[in-house]
């Protein structure tokens, strides 16, 4: 048995808030929405994918946001992204850098924590 890679990240969201997910993940972050398989679409939620970056949002009853556990997205030009996020009304929280990276945190519309990090030369 060999584990090769992470295929996708799944985050939870409350029922009926797919428009907010689309506005944030596709509209603000620029990750295109892809159609969920027909047998899964009836469960609600939304999938966003570009290249190897895949973020799936699934509806969870009694939803509680993930405030500590989080995905970390590697980005290019973090300062420009931060400016774009702030202009879009997203709160950006900075953190001390990791060795070799600059990073910050944001929350999706449901309160799920997301780390954004950029490798430093």
pLDDT in tens, 1-47: 999 999 999 999 999 999 999 999 999 999 999 999 999 999 999 99
Q: Which residues contact 88 (CB under 8 A, 6 or more apart)?
A: 28
Residue-wise pLDDT for 71-98, tens only, equals: 999 999 999 999 999 999 999 999 888 9
Residue-wise pLDDT for 48-73, tens only, equals: 999 999 999 999 999 999 999 999 99
Domain boundaries, the chain: 9-119
**pLDDT recorded at residue 95:** 86
The class of domain 9-119 in CATH terms is alpha beta
The three-state secondary structure class of 72 is strand
- Where residue 51 falls (left for φ over 0; alpha for ψ -120 to 50; beta otherwise) is left
Contacts 24+ apart (CB under 8 A), 34-40: none
Distance CA 49, CA 37 (A): 14
**Mean pLDDT rounded to a whole number for the chain:** 96
């Amino acid at each position: 048995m060999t584990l090769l890679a992470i295929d996708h990240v799944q985050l939870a969201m409350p029922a009926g808030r797919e428009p907010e997910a689309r506005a944030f993940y596709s509209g603000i972050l620029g990750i295109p929405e892809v159609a969920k398989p027909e047998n899964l679409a009836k469960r609600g939620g939304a999938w966003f994918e570009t290249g190897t970056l895949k973020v799936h949002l699934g509806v969870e009853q009694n939803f509680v946001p993930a405030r500590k556990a989080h995905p970390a997205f590697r980005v290019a030009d973090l300062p420009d992204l931060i400016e774009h996020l702030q202009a879009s009304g997203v709160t950006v929280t900075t953190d001390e850098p990791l060795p070799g990276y600059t990073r910050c945190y944001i929350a999706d519309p449901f309160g799920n924590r997301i780390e954004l990090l950029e490798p430093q030369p």
